[in-house]
Amino acid sequence: MTLPSTYADRNCSLARSLEIVGERWTLLIIRDVFFGVRRFGDFATQLKIPRAVLTNRLKFLVQEGVLIRDDDATGGVEYRLTAKGVGLWPVVRALMSWGDAFYSPSGVKRAERHDQDGGLLDHEGRCQDCGLAVPVPEIRIEPGPGFDRTDSDHDPVSVAINTPRRLLEPIMRPRTLSAAGEGERGATRAAERADSPA
Amino acid sequence: MTLPSTYADRNCSLARSLEIVGERWTLLIIRDVFFGVRRFGDFATQLKIPRAVLTNRLKFLVQEGVLIRDDDATGGVEYRLTAKGVGLWPVVRALMSWGDAFYSPSGVKRAERHDQDGGLLDHEGRCQDCGLAVPVPEIRIEPGPGFDRTDSDHDPVSVAINTPRRLLEPIMRPRTLSAAGEGERGATRAAERADSPA
DNA sequence: CATGCTCAGTTCACTGACTGAACTGCTCCT
DNA sequence: AGGAGCAGTTCAGTCAGTGAACTGAGCATG
């Protein structure tokens, strides 16, 4: 699956998509990016994914134009979604909805809201208050009724992504917070990236 | 991934879903079932998947309640979707849409229509003619503008699933056709299964 | 009853990918 | 110079996927 075109069916967009995002870990990495994770080490600790695999996946996703990699002001490396990557949100949403429906009897584990008016989103991403199809940067994600606080992880990254937040907004880890202005500038960039090239 | 709970994140429905349908081949098998494939040998030839892997995947999907396995009248084995399995259609649709959008410049490879009135479905599965959210058994799938007839496979199963047809309707291979009434009875059962327990 | 067919599934040797832990090399901070 | 944080790399062990050949049940035919 690492090499190009391992599914024979050249005439199926499902097979094509799975060549990109169908490998183990890939969609979880992408979910984390939606939730604001951007740094190699944060993916590694939050997902407990072997670093070698993480390296491969990130490289591949960058090569495929799903993520972009660049050095931030502090010299660190950041991975962010391209418009193509943002286009995967319906895929993530569909899988989450299915998992919620069949494996989370007490309700959804995460709810989506329209950040502008607080309305809940339905399965298609439409705001139940204003009726609009809400673009990804305006989606606010938060723990839902099925979220289990007792067994949630306690590393800073997990805590951050389990806090209500807008998609794509970078998480602020202790160090990043202390670096003056870093958090806010990052957030602005995230919004730009997701909005304009789409 | 074959064993239970290999993704650590117990609080994420995405991880939960991927434990079920995230393995290589799994979603392609499920797509084939939506397209009417039901028999072990047909999956094997159409997907060119190693038979040992196919055995494992089918077993696992049956065990997880995504498929049911039973013997048909002729003593053959059939795999069909449960309501839980039918619930995966939005996942398949989302992945197909993404693949169409970013890897099929000449248009979608497969289009969905409302079988009742012939209206095209949008990304959320809503009929653009009548405005309804179309249930899976009423969806008609057909080759779209991006479908490439020149390199489509020519085995009977591929030919069958590339013919416009309703989802879940069993494909009729030569032998099945000759068995009197088999095809129609199969179709009826498919509709029952998908409709009533949902 | 012997022969041959289809079909579902198993077996097996091989290969390639994943795993986890330790290590490298870079930059910033003091 | 010394230490800490970070982004990877390396490596030996293991496990899962691959492809081809095989098994065994059920059916049909002569």
Spatial CB neighbours of B66, under 8 Å, sequence gap ≥ 6: B20, B21, B30, B81, B82, B84, B85, B88
> Does B17 have pLDDT greater than 90?
yes
Nearest C-alpha in B relative to A46: B9
What is the rounded distance in angstroms from the CA atom of residue A184 to the CA atom of residue A167?
14
A8 occurs within a structural domain: yes
Contact A98 B91 (CB under 8 A): yes
Please report the residues numbered 127 through 156 in chain A whose beta carbons come closer than 8 angstroms to any beta carbon of chain B. Answer: 146-148, 151-153
Contact B82, B66 (CB under 8 A): yes
Q: Which residues contact B14 (CB under 8 A, 6 or more apart)?
A: A27, A28, A31, A92, A95, A96, A99
Terminal Cα distance for chain B, rounded: 28
Interaxial angle between packed helices A89-103 and A26-34, expressed in degrees from 0 to 180 and rounded to the nearest 10:
100
Q: Which nucleotide is nearest to B2 (CA to C1')?
A: D16
- Compute the average pLDDT of residues A15-23: 95
Q: Which helix (H) or strand (E) holds A67?
A: strand A67-71
Q: Does A8 touch chain B (CB under 8 A)?
A: yes
What CATH number corresponds to the domain at position B27? 1.10.10.10
Nucleotides of strand C lying closer than 7 angstroms to a protein CB: 6-12, 16-22, 27-28
Q: What is the C-alpha R_g of chain B?
A: 17
Pairs across A and B, CB distance < 8 A? 146
Domain residue limits at B161: 88-168
ipTM above 0.90, yes or no: no
Do residues B42 and B108 share a domain? no
Distance from CA of A113 to the nearest CA of B (A): 17
In this structure, is residue B187 part of a structural domain? no
State the nucleotide closest to B174 in CA–C1' terms: C6
User: Mean pLDDT for chain A?
Assistant: 85
Residue B75 shares a structural domain with residue B132: no
Last residue of a domain, one of B53, B87, B121: B87
Q: Is the pLDDT of residue B63 over 90?
A: yes
Helices (H), A35-113: 40-47, 51-63, 83-86, 89-103
Nearest nucleotide to A45, CA against C1' atoms: D6
Which residue, among A29, A17, A34, A90, has the nearest Cα to A54 in the 3D structure?
A29
Task: Give B73 to chain A, closest Cα distance, Å.
Answer: 31
Q: What is the pLDDT of residues B96-134, one digit of tens each?
A: 999 999 999 999 999 999 999 999 999 999 999 999 999
Per residue in A105-116, pLDDT (tens digit) is 999 999 999 999
Enumerate the nucleotides of strand D whose atoms come under 7 Å of any protein CB. Answer: 5-11, 16-21, 26-27
pLDDT of residue B7: 72
State how far residue A180 is from chain B, nearest Cα, in angstroms. Answer: 32
Weakest-pLDDT range from A26-40, A69-83, A90-104, B132-146: A69-83
Residue A111's CB: how many other CB atoms inside 10 A? 18
State the pLDDT confidence band at A86, using cuts at 50, 70 and 90. very high
> Which residue did the predictor score with more confidence, B64 or B197?
B64
Residues A57 and A110 in one domain: no
B148/B21: higher pLDDT: B21
Q: Report the distance separating Cα B132 and Cα B126, nearest Å.
A: 5
**What is the model's pLDDT at position B5?**
52
Indicate the number of domains in chain A.
2
